[in-house]
Structure 1
């Protein structure tokens, strides 16, 4: 029998919804928003279908209580509750997790629990409103089932509830580096219903049940922030004065780019042993995931600064030494001649010239915070650093404050332009730690230049290379030809100034 009274408006709604779904899938690129739109249109389609089925008996002229319409209505109603739960999950994802709580890391476990709750409510709605059955019986039955499952899955359920507790308390989050009471260290890569996944430094992954994580003693290296401290022990001989040893260790730590300045590194004496003193250096860095690199950088800098200071790392030994003369006390840095020979600026000097220059140098001990030279001041001396760490500060404008532009340490020098040309100081130098420096005056270098004028040309070549490196950074946009021409002119000008200053 032909249908009568079909609601064309509802059919139009279904057609419009289908068309809107196609448009959304084509134009909306965000995956979560596309799922929300699809769920909403599906829910509207089911609503329209239920309205059509409600009026279905009048179309085919059957009794309202007939079996077929009732079955169709129940099927449609079941499919109404389930899309409603799915729509609630999508809406929660967009409005809450990505909207109201977008700046907070919402645990995946919480999302899963809330999604399961939506579907449980939908199941109870189907039982109560579609099949018109009492919910109390279902609750009682589910209680018995829950008891049976609880005994059978007590370990798994323990992990699940422990996971819920961990997500509520947040002792660690995804991306944190933690250490368990077993000594294992790893990065948290996932926290799910049953377990926490950790990745070790060897790029292996372990799966730790949440029940064990809830009872374990956990050290979180990223809480309350991702900075942490670690200790380095160094053994030095008794002949090294403690104040000097601490200054060298602190300078070595501050020379590492990743070591934090605030709080500052702390060197201290840990213990006195039979043949050496144990020093402990405490430094603060960020990101425990890079701990091996941090440790390597600090130890490398400590070795370099001890070498420049001519301080040997002590080790247990029992030797008998017979000396014809008094043993040298280790309060001096690397021999001055050796220090000069390892600096490029004086590498061209012959051995007798280096020894003659070293014999005239003046050693200065400076304290942390002391200004060694001031920008703009007159000067005719160069300083070679034997120990410690100094900071280069420049004032780019008369009304501007000094800005730190570089750090210099053992084996480096400053003031070469003032020594060779008498130019005013181009920067201020401030000691960050206690330091030992050697001062080279014009009167020390003048006899060497007059005896062998070609030394001046070698010095000019080295200084021109340093100037070229500086210009390459400051004027990267200049073309190569212009840069070469500028360097050549600078070298000739510098050589002329040196000859004039030393009257060569």
Structure 2
């Protein structure tokens, strides 16, 4: 055969060998773990190494098998064995490629075993690999096939210049991608804002950076735009970032109370870190109120919209429970008139329908069935007397994630759950597993601290939004003063209940054994009731 036909057949045969080897080894190469998300383990390390060397090794094996066939086929032997330099060059190139891939695979696995990222970014690694392949091919052509590569290099330089001029945008993206990989300004898994686009970096390649937004959209940003933009990286060098939530309060509310409510609201959100601690301060005096800002730190700044919203939600509940008003813009006269009305309404007793609701909630709760009945199950108070106690209670609301009280806190009030669900946790000194429980509507919480003076025996948090009736100490004083026999009856009831739980109470983290024994004696409980009653009468 004359002309270029043998060369064309040879090239097509080599291309077929490469294609078959690539197809056969694709599963192995896909099974490799990347160095951005390394997987450790001896089996995975072997799988990664096999993936690195699989293609050049498969090319060599297939080539050797075909050569064996050609040697033993008389019709094909003259055509494929008459150019031994070509065969030698082909095998030499793939042996070099096998060596390069083996060295690369071993180097990556060494860094993976040490728990460190591979220092060369993937894009730059691919470019270096390609350059080494081209250099190896040129070296093989020069040394084995004795081809003068000078014209080839000159023509390659000319073609490179022409292609570079024609593909300026592509080369700009390529160089920008190399720069980003070298400086590591944007890496996979980082949360970044590039111009108007914000999201998690999924991948960076030679042309573009892929971001996944909060809404799940995949945004492709050319590397040249990334290189020229101001990048807000929310993951590097550390994830800790500060948030700010502005809020307003009325002039009638003391700044100290407002700031305390803001700090408590921020700390009640799980994502807010306690160190550095949050802070809050006044930013401006407006015509209709005082503007504040609360600042806090989290490790999830990219999720700031949800976190800031959660803090704002907690602020609303804190303000409502503390009677702090959030103002809205209005004229001076309207503001003064409204504040006068609000101040007057705060001093008014609850309306009759609200009093009846409180009485009804009390009668359906453990407060009535466990405390306001005697040993025979007879009610200690009539509805009219319950109304006197109910006027001193208040209805409060808590939202999900807030803490009603902590184990070990002092307590001068108890609560009736009207609706919703709370979660309790009791910890013991003997390191046994903590006891956890849920409570729902009708349950009475915190009465032992109010009646005995012991610290809170559990930590209670809000599992779902709850409405509570708070029974403060002045309501308890009113209850004790209704009938002379009530302090004695209640002290006996509390002492009996405490005696059944003495063993468990003595093992709590928050109290000592001696303190429990002394406090829960009936005469001491009665003395506490009488002391509370005297103090309440003195204040009146």
TM-score, normalised with respect to structure 2: 0.60
Please show how residues 267-278 of structure 1 align to structure 2 within 5 Å: 267-278=280-291
Whether 1:250 and 2:263 are equivalent positions in the alignment is yes
Shift of the 68–356 alpha-carbon distance from structure 1 to 2, 3 Å rule, reads closer
Q: Match of 2:329, SS? A: coil
Q: Name the SS for the 1:274 alignment partner.
A: coil
User: 2:90 maps to which residue?
Assistant: 78
Question: Which 5+ residue runs of structure 1 have no aligned equivalent?
Answer: 1-20, 61-65, 362-371, 386-391, 406-411, 430-436, 475-495
Match of 1:103 among 104, 111, 116: 116
> 1:127·1:135 contact (CA, 8 Å) conserved in 2?
yes
Pairwise CA distance, 1:99: 1.6
Per the alignment, do residues 373 and 186 of structure 1 end up closer, same or farther by CA in structure 2, a change over 3 Å counting? Answer: closer
Residue number in structure 2 paired with 1:368: none
Q: 1:140-159 to 2 correspondence within 5 Å? A: 140-159=154-173
Q: Evaluate the alpha carbon distance shift between residue 136 and residue 357 of structure 1 in structure 2; reply closer, same or farther with a 3 A threshold.
A: same
**Which of 360, 369, 383 matches 2:413?**
383
Q: Which runs of 5+ in 2 are unaligned?
A: 1-23, 29-41, 373-382, 395-404, 416-423, 437-442, 460-470, 509-519, 530-540
What is the RMSD of the two structures over their aligned residues, measured on CA atoms?
5.4
Pairing 1:459-470 to 2, within 5 Å after superposition: none
Q: How far 1:447 sits from its partner (Å)?
A: 3.8
Aligned residue for 2:320, secondary structure, equals helix
Within the candidate set 322, 336, 340, 1:309 is matched to 322
Change (3 A) 1:394 1:67: closer
Listed as ranges, the matches of 1:221-236 within 5 Å are: 221-236=234-249
How far apart are residue 347 of structure 1 and its match? 8.4
CA apart distance, 1:120: 1.1
> Conserved in 1, the CA contact under 8 Å of 2:88 and 2:144?
no
Q: Deviations over 1:278-301 (max 9, x none)?
A: 111112112234323212211111
Determine the C-alpha separation between the residues in 2 that align with 1:293 and 1:333. Answer: 37
What displacement does 1:51 show?
12
Alignment partners' CA distance in 2, 1:334 and 1:109:
73
Distance in 2 separating the partners of 1:259 and 1:324:
36
Q: Deviations over 1:335-385 (max 9, x none)?
A: 899899599776889686365476599xxxxxxxxxx99969xx9x73369
Contact 1:394 1:426 in 2 (8 A): no
Q: Secondary structure at the match of 1:196?
A: strand
Report what 1:10 is aligned to.
none
Identify the match of residue 419 of structure 1 among 422, 439, 450.
450
- Measured in 1, the distance between the counterparts of 2:339 and 2:275 equals 46
Q: For 1:352-501, what aligned pairs fall within 5 Å after superposition?
A: 353=386, 355-356=388-389, 382-383=412-413, 396-397=428-429, 416-420=447-451, 422=452, 424-425=454-455, 439=473, 443-447=477-481
Contact kept in structure 2, 1:308 and 1:333, CA below 8 Å:
no
In 1, distance between residues paired with 2:252 and 2:244?
23
From the superposition, tell whether residues 135 and 190 of structure 1 become closer, same or farther in structure 2 (CA, over 3 Å): same
Number of the residue aligned with 1:139: 153
Among 172, 178, 183, the alignment partner of 2:192 is 178
Correspondence for 1:218 among 231, 244, 257: 231
Provide the C-alpha distance between the structure 2 equivalents of 1:121 and 1:262, rounded to a whole number of angstroms: 55
Aligned counterpart in structure 2 of residue 121 of structure 1, from 132, 135, 139: 135
The answer for the alignment partner of 2:252 in structure 1 is: 239
Match of 1:32 in 2: 48
Name which of 171, 182, 192 aligns with 1:168. 182
The whole-number CA distance in structure 1 between the counterparts of 2:317 and 2:299 is: 23
Q: Quick one: distance in 2 between partners of 1:171 and 1:97?
A: 22
Query: 1:245 & 1:276 partners in 2: Cα distance?
Result: 12
User: In the TM superposition, what whole-angstrom CA distance separates every residue of 1:71-94 from its partner, at most 9, and x where no partner exists?
Assistant: 1341242233035214412430x2
Indicate the SS of the match to 1:316: coil
Rounded Cα–Cα distance in structure 2 between residues aligned with 1:413 and 1:285:
35
Mapped to 2, the partners of 1:297 and 1:351 lie a distance apart of 42
Equivalenced residues, count = 401
Q: Structure 1's 85 and 440: CA in aligned 2 closer, same or farther, altered over 3 A? A: farther
Distance 1:86 1:440, change over 3 A: farther
SS at structure 1 position matched to 2:83? helix
Q: Does 1:262 align with 2:266?
A: no
CA-CA distance at 1:247 after TM superposition: 0.8
Instruction: Indicate the SS of the match to 1:201.
Output: coil
